[in-house]
Structure 1
Amino acid sequence: MMLSEYQSKELLSQYGVLIPDGKLAQSAEAAEALCKDINARKYVVKAQINAGGRGLAGGIKFAATPSSVAEEARAMLGSTLVTEQTSTLGETVKSVYIEAAIDIAQNYFIAISFDPNSGMPILLASDIGGVEFEQLARMDSNVVKTHPFEDDTPEARTQLAAFLKELGIDDTDVLDVLYGARQAFMENDLTLLEINPFARTKNGKWMAIDAKIACDKNAVFRRPELESLMADRGMSASEMEAQRNNINLVKLSGDIGVVANGAGLGLATNDMIIDAGGKPANFMDIRTTAKSFDIAKGVELLLADPQIKVILMNIHGGGMTAADTVAEGVNFAYSRSDHHLPVVAHMSGHNAEWGIKILNDRKVPVETFETMSAAIARVVEISKGGRTR
């Protein structure tokens, strides 16, 4: 779950990371009025969307006066930004962040994530920051350097200072800022904390000019405050309902509903649907903690979507989610809904045969196939007007 820029900065500021003075606005009039509360000689108007690359797409504008802020906000609000990280449909700008423009001496890139090998926090850093960082990093992997981000000890600080010195950062004050960011990362169940640019201002301060934070969706149960952040972020009602029922759901623009257990399997299924000429209506990942009634809620959300013509089940029973548990969830959903879409199913792994028997015995309108490719070919056929049995 990605937080928007202003949410990310608010969180970082609670851990001692300096941020520019700023306010959120949903209208041009509010944007202009808020300028009086921002200590600035010049302003920045920033579109609040859930994807990066907005600067190159016109989502960041400078303004010299409050009236200019209003003009930029008016042009931005309600517009659609298409970036490298959005779909071709782009994202609609529903709010803007009005911020004090900062005199920057040097831009850097800083991020904290987990090392997949050790499972411990790792610091990623570059002496090149700003709007062109991602493009440069794709062209040259050596742009980003990594360093194990260990607990705050004198020895770890010495090693971190030496690492930063190689990037041209020879200032011990930055260590407190970075360890504050690390504390935010660890205490809030984050999976990614990115500051770009991480700037040294002309008066020698270190500041997060822009920030991106990803929270672990599986930690929502112990951090209920994240639910309000999801609503502020613009997550749809169906996506939030799925989250509450141990389902990761992302609405897409197609007409084939997808039920899959596992993020990788869900992504692969959507890719195969597209390759076969179909259009998935959603991404779904049934979490390992989901029970049959949770799965039923996820399927009910698909049945209630007027765009969906057919549902594809691609289930591999294993780990903590057996195939028959998913089948029971589908059956519960169909028993509680008057809208019975055709189902195409490919089920394998633990209790797959029992899961198929449940679907057939409970009169779910299902066709089953032994291979993914056959199931996908059939579901695409139905979505394009092919007859069901």
Structure 2
Amino acid sequence: MNFHEYQAKELFAKYKIPVPNGEVARTPDEAVAAAKSLGCDMWVVKAQVHAGGRGKAGGVKLAKTLDEVKQYATDMLGMKIQTYQTGGLALPVNEVLITEAADIEQEIYLSLLLDRANQCLSFVASAEGGVEIEEVAKTNPEKIHTIQVDNTEGLFPYACRKAGFAMGMNAKQVRQLTHIMMQMHKMYVELDLSLIEVNPLIIDDKQDVIALDAKISSDDNAHFRHKEFAAMRDITQEDPAEAKAHEHDLNYIKLDGNIACMVNGAGLAMATMDVIKLKGGDPANFLDVGGGATAERVAIAFKIILSDPNVKSILVNIFGGIVRCDLIANGIISAIKEVGVEVPIVVRLEGTNVNEGKKILNESGLAVISADNLDDAANKAVAAVGA
């Protein structure tokens, strides 16, 4: 789950990470009231969407008067922003953040994320902040500093100080950076996060280090420990099909292909997508319906799959372990009748009562293409697209 900038900064403030004063607004009048309450003479109006690159899309404006605050808020609220980070979606702006303007002397990049290659958490820092860190890594890799966090002993202050001095900070700034990094690590662990990114982390005219921006993502699998996050989710920022899948506890990710996949088990779903690709096809989605592939869940899964107009065929690959194949077959038939699927469906069943399941599908009278194994299923799904 992704958080809006204003939500991320509220969490930062709870962990005593310095951020500019700001208030969120949902109407132009609220924006003006927020600007007045901040008691400064220049403001930044920032569109709240789950993506970077807002500034280039007109989503970040410096206002020198209250009239400008109102005008920028009016322009942004209701607009849709599409950037290189939105995955092809145009995200609606329903809120703007009004913050006090800062005098920036230096911009720094700082993030904390799960480092899968080294099986630990790692900080990534660079004195080249305010731009895409991927570009810095490509053109000036020597300016990227990585601090790996020991899984047992945690983060040591000396490692933070080392990174700060490596980026040319003075003693005061290094102390502040160390505090920020220690609090970021504490926050990451306590809130079960998957990413904290500050771009930019600035040094202002008073030589203080402040988080000017904030991007946070959390691990959905840990939300049972953080019930408060449910109210912070903004489904208007998500793909509608993915949001619907989340509502029904289905794991769905939309892709660019035309062969839809419905599988029970994440590993099997990945393998199914790989085999489709191997056979010359393109998966339209990742979809794990879970161990209990009931008729109701299968019906919902079909509806989500068919909401994608690019889908030309569907490959159902189910292993009957927790649920028997004959029950799965009945569920598939019921779901097809309920939803009214009009694209070719290839079904591969394996596991408990597999012969009974195949017999039910073959005698259903529906246009279901039965497959003997995954290789056969992928071949038939790819062929069905070209038919």
Note if contact 2:157-2:182 (Cα within 8 Å) is conserved in structure 1.
no
- Cα distance per residue 1:345-384 (max 9 Å; x no partner): 2647766956655644566642245142541341x35xxx
Moved more, 197-206 or 340-349: 340-349
1:339 and 2:340 are equivalent in the alignment? yes
1:265 and 2:270 are equivalent in the alignment? yes
Give the structure 2 partner of residue 128 of structure 1: 128
Q: Secondary structure at the match of 2:270?
A: helix
Give the structure 1 partner of residue 39 of structure 2: 39
Note if contact 1:342-1:365 (Cα within 8 Å) is conserved in structure 2.
no
Partner Cα separation in structure 1 for residue 275 and residue 48 of structure 2: 28
Partner Cα separation in structure 2 for residue 201 and residue 321 of structure 1: 60
Note if contact 2:261-2:315 (Cα within 8 Å) is conserved in structure 1.
yes
- Cα distance per residue 1:84-134 (max 9 Å; x no partner): 122445323232211111112221111111221443211111111114444
Give the structure 2 partner of residue 162 of structure 1: 162
Give the structure 1 partner of residue 25 of structure 2: 25
- State the aligned residue count: 375
Distance 1:181 1:303, change over 3 A: closer
2:249 corresponds to which of 242, 246, 250? 246
> TM-score when scaled to structure 1?
0.79
Among the aligned pairs, what percent are the same residue? 26
Note if contact 1:242-1:248 (Cα within 8 Å) is conserved in structure 2.
yes
Give the structure 2 partner of residue 70 of structure 1: 70
Is the radius of gyration larger for structure 1 or structure 2? 2
1:313 corresponds to which of 312, 315, 337? 315
Partner Cα separation in structure 2 for residue 127 and residue 191 of structure 1: 23
Where do 5+ consecutive residues of structure 2 fail to align? none
Deviation of residue 181 (structure 1)? 0.9
Partner Cα separation in structure 2 for residue 267 and residue 78 of structure 1: 40
Note if contact 1:189-1:215 (Cα within 8 Å) is conserved in structure 2.
yes
Partner Cα separation in structure 1 for residue 218 and residue 228 of structure 2: 12
Moved more, 46-55 or 290-299: 290-299
> TM-score when scaled to structure 2?
0.80
1:209 and 2:209 are equivalent in the alignment? no
Distance 1:65 1:232, change over 3 A: farther
Give the structure 1 partner of residue 227 of structure 2: 224
Note if contact 1:35-1:98 (Cα within 8 Å) is conserved in structure 2.
yes
Give the structure 2 partner of residue 185 of structure 1: 188
Note if contact 1:42-1:63 (Cα within 8 Å) is conserved in structure 2.
yes
Where do 5+ consecutive residues of structure 1 fail to align? none
Deviation of residue 70 (structure 1)? 1.2
Moved more, 3-12 or 301-310: 301-310
Distance 1:66 1:154, change over 3 A: same
Partner Cα separation in structure 2 for residue 244 and residue 341 of structure 1: 25
Note if contact 1:266-1:284 (Cα within 8 Å) is conserved in structure 2.
no
Note if contact 1:295-1:326 (Cα within 8 Å) is conserved in structure 2.
no
How well do the aligned residues superpose, as a CA RMSD in angstroms? 3.9
Code of the aligned partner of 2:187: A
Deviation of residue 328 (structure 1)? 6.5
Distance 1:151 1:353, change over 3 A: closer
Partner Cα separation in structure 2 for residue 252 and residue 215 of structure 1: 22
1:291 and 2:318 are equivalent in the alignment? no
